């Protein structure tokens, strides 16, 4: 049966580690990072899974082959599988989710919300992370809304917004106003993202934490009590290192 499903373009599969950000922060997980993205954010921290020049590192894998990797890494003990990218919504992930659910695993997917898929309704957690002005991308809010509709109220859906500056903060507030029913997570961006061929490049943790402090001050000043402000835990722990 598995072989009849379309192949998935995979950049890397790694773990178990912990989820470093958002609603699942701290939770043990295996990452399945797909290759390819319809965006090019100015501060992308995953260019090795975005830029076509790294396509030779990506592999077309069957659902069975991806699942075999996840089983081996997790020792067959069910846990949360994080589907990320790139934009994982580009890939046909429905059959993988079904396969994993059959073994008792759970699935979270993070996307910028540019492409809605009917299999979003089979996820356990959907993280919508529209990109703010500092990314130099333009948000299609109708597409974000379509993603929410595709989920059909089944998975837990949350908003995650990266904030670098005042404009991003205003954008996050606008997003929260558009989707008041969704929990919202804010995180300071990493202005020193890894170079795709050098994940040893130093990270300006002091600068990131200063921005986090500013973000906390802004949220409390504005009495924005629905927002949660979190760091990227993996950046705090491991800097720009990949696959940790």
Q: How far is the CB of 150 from ligand SF4 (least distance, A)?
A: 18
Least Cα distance to 128 among 143, 112, 115, 152 occurs for 112
C-alpha gyration radius of the chain: 17
Kindly give, in sequence order, each residue whose CB lies less than 8 Å from that of residue 185, ignoring residues fewer than 6 positions away: 21, 22, 23, 158, 159, 160, 161, 227, 228, 229, 230
Pairing of strands 184-188, 8-18: unpaired
Contacting range for ligand SF4; rule: CB under 6 A; set: 37-45, 140-148, 172-180, 221-229: 37-45
165 is in an annotated binding site: no
Closest to ligand SF4 by CB, 34 or 69:
34
Q: How many residues bind ligand SF4 (CB under 6 A)?
A: 12
Contacting range for ligand SF4; rule: CB under 6 A; set: 44-52, 88-96, 138-146, 196-204: 44-52
Least Cα distance to 231 among 151, 135, 160, 129 occurs for 160
Q: How far is the CB of 209 from ligand SF4 (least distance, A)?
A: 21
218 is in an annotated binding site: no
User: Does 87 participate in binding ligand SF4 (rule CB under 6 A)?
Assistant: yes
User: Which residues, numbered 206-225, are part of the site for ligand SF4 (CB under 6 A)?
Assistant: none
> Of residues 40, 167, 195, 210, which one binds ligand SF4 by CB under 6 A?
40
CA dihedral 197, 15, 190, 53 (to 10 degrees): 30
Token pair 């994940």 is found at 199
Give the separation between CA 51 and CA 102, rounded to whole angstroms. Answer: 33
User: Does 89 participate in binding ligand SF4 (rule CB under 6 A)?
Assistant: no
Biggest CA-to-CA distance, the chain: 56
117 to 156: interface string for ligand SF4, x by CB under 6 A: --------------x-------------------------
> Of residues 34, 46, 82, 139, which one binds ligand SF4 by CB under 6 A?
46
User: Does 83 participate in binding ligand SF4 (rule CB under 6 A)?
Assistant: no
Written as six digits, the tokens of 168 are 């991003």
- Check: CB of residue 20 under 8 Å from CB of residue 231: no
Closest to ligand SF4 by CB, 155 or 189:
189
Kindly give, in sequence order, each residue whose CB lies less than 8 Å from that of residue 187, ignoring residues fewer than 6 positions away: 21, 22, 160, 161, 162, 163, 212, 229, 230, 231, 232
Closest to ligand SF4 by CB, 40 or 77:
40
User: Does 55 participate in binding ligand SF4 (rule CB under 6 A)?
Assistant: no
Binding residues for Mg(2+): 46
Q: Which residues are annotated as a binding site?
A: 18-20, 33, 37, 41, 43-46, 84, 86, 129-131
Please report, as ranges, the residues that interact with ligand SF4 according to CB under 6 A. 37, 39-41, 44, 46, 50, 85-87, 112, 131
């Amino acid at each position: 049966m598995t072989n009849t499903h379309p192949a998935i373009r995979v950049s890397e599969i790694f773990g178990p580690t912990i989820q470093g950000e958002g609603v699942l922060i701290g939770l043990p997980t295996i990452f399945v990072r797909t290759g390819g993205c319809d965006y090019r954010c100015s501060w992308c921290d995953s260019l090795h899974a975005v830029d076509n020049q790294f396509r030779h590192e990506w592999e077309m894998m069957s659902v069975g082959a991806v699942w075999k990797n996840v089983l081996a890494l997790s020792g067959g003990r069910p846990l949360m599988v994080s589907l990320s990218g790139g934009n994982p919504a580009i890939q046909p992930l429905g059959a993988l989710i079904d396969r994993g659910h059959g073994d008792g695993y759970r699935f979270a997917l993070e996307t910028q919300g540019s492409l809605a898929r009917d299999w979003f309704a089979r996820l356990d957690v959907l993280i919508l992370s529209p990109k703010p002005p500092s990314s130099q991308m333009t948000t299609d809010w109708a597409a974000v809304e379509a993603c929410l509709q595709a989920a059909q109220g089944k998975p837990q859906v949350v908003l995650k917004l990266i904030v670098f500056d005042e404009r991003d903060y205003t954008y996050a507030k606008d997003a929260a106003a558009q989707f008041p029913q969704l929990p919202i997570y804010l995180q300071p961006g990493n202005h020193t993202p890894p170079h795709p061929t050098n994940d040893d490049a130093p990270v300006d943790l002091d600068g990131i934490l200063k921005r986090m402090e500013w973000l906390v001050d802004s949220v409390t000043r504005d009495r924005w009590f629905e927002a949660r402000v979190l760091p990227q835990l993996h950046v705090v722990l491991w800097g720009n290192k990949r696959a940790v």
